[in-house]
Amino acid sequence: MHPILIEGDRRFVQITQNALDFIATKSPEHYEMVTKYIGRIKHTHKGSGMLVEADPPTFVVNDIELNSPMCWYASDIVHDAYHSKLFHDYLTDHEYVPDHIYKGYDAEMKCLQIQKQFLITAGAAQRYINWIDYAPATRWWE
C-alpha cells in the first residue's frame, strides 16, 4: 500500500497503484520524491495537473493520462510531483510562492527533465524519451 490517498473508481485506483508500484520498482529515488510531494491522486473528468496548494497536495488525473501507457502515466506522476517540490521547497524559506517558481516555461523545463530522467531510468521506449525533447514546442501549459 502506498502512502498516497487515491480517489476514484476501482479501475482508477488499480491503475494508479500500478503506476506507483512501477515508480517504486524502477526508481526508488523518484518514488521518494513522489510520496513526499503528492498526498493525493484524484480522478477528474477535466484537465490533469498538480494542485500544489491543496491539503494535501493533489495530482488530478483525467482519462487521457489514465489511459496512457503505464510508463507514461508513471512519468506524469513524477513530473507533477516535481511541480509540487518546486512550490513546497520555495515555501519552506518564503511566505509567498510566485507562480513562476512552480509553473510556466522555466518550471516546465525542470519538470520535463525530471520526467525524462525517470523515463531513462525506467527503461522506457525511446519514443517517450524523444517526446520530452519535443514537448516544449507544444507549449501545452499555456
pLDDT for residue 1 is more than 70: no
Bridge pairing between strands 58-61 and 49-51 = antiparallel
| DSSP output for 14-75 | HHHHHHHHHHHHH-HHHHHHHHHH-SEEEE-SS--EEETTSSS-EEEE-HHHHTS-HHHHHH
Interval 12-43: pLDDT, tens: 999 999 999 999 999 999 999 999 999 999 99
Across 54-62, average pLDDT: 97
| Res 142: pLDDT | 63
pLDDT for residue 136 is more than 90: no
Interval 89-132: pLDDT, tens: 999 999 999 999 999 999 999 999 999 999 999 999 999 999 99
pLDDT for residue 61 is more than 70: yes
Residue of 124, 54, 49 lying closest to 82 (CA atoms): 49
| Set of cell numbers at residue 2 | 502506498
| Res 137: pLDDT | 72
pTM of this structure: 0.94
